[in-house]
């Protein structure tokens, strides 16, 4: 009797490169179809996915910590600008939407300049 499982295992081991190339070509040719499938799947299984992600984070705390640290190091300015923007908006006693965007951007520029000066002082000392 023909053992299909064993044949598939042997074939995939012998033709890894070919299978990988075919998969890549399929993904490139059917980007929209795959994206639609992912959106549909995520929409239907959102609770299941969130539970899995939470479980993964709890099991792999060190990996998550390293991932966050790597992101922060790579996007330090972006993170600091975002937190500066939020802190600036909280200083006022008016709704956030009413704060002029130009005022917030000017404050962010000021923070960037202060951060630059502080970094230069650390380098020279």
pLDDT digits (tens, 9 = 90+) for 1-42: 678 889 889 999 999 999 999 999 999 999 999 999 999 999
Provide the residue range defining the domain that includes 29: 15-59
Residues 92 and 120 in one domain: yes
Is the sign of the CA dihedral 15, 21, 24, 29 positive or negative? Answer: negative
Q: What is the pLDDT of residue 76?
A: 83
What totals of helices (H) and strands (E) does the chain contain, helices first? 7, 0
92 pLDDT above the threshold of 80 = no
Are 107 and 84 in contact, with CB atoms under 8 Å apart?
A: yes
Structure confidence at residue 1 (pLDDT): 66
Percent of the chain beyond pLDDT 90?
50
Do 123 and 80 lie in one domain? The reply is yes
pTM: 0.49
Same domain, 114 and 91: yes
């Amino acid at each position: 009797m023909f053992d299909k499982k064993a044949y598939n295992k042997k074939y995939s081991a012998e033709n890894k490169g070919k299978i990988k190339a075919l998969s890549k070509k399929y993904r490139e040719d059917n980007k929209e179809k795959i994206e639609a499938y992912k959106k549909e799947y995520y929409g239907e299984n959102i609770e299941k996915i969130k539970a899995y992600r939470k479980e993964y984070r709890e099991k792999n705390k060190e990996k998550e910590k390293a991932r966050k640290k790597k992101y922060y190091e790579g996007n330090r300015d972006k993170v600091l600008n975002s937190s500066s923007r939020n802190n600036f908006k909280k200083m006022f006693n008016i709704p956030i939407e009413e704060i002029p965007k130009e005022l917030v951007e000017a404050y962010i520029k000021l923070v960037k300049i202060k951060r630059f000066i502080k970094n230069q002082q650390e380098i020279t000392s």
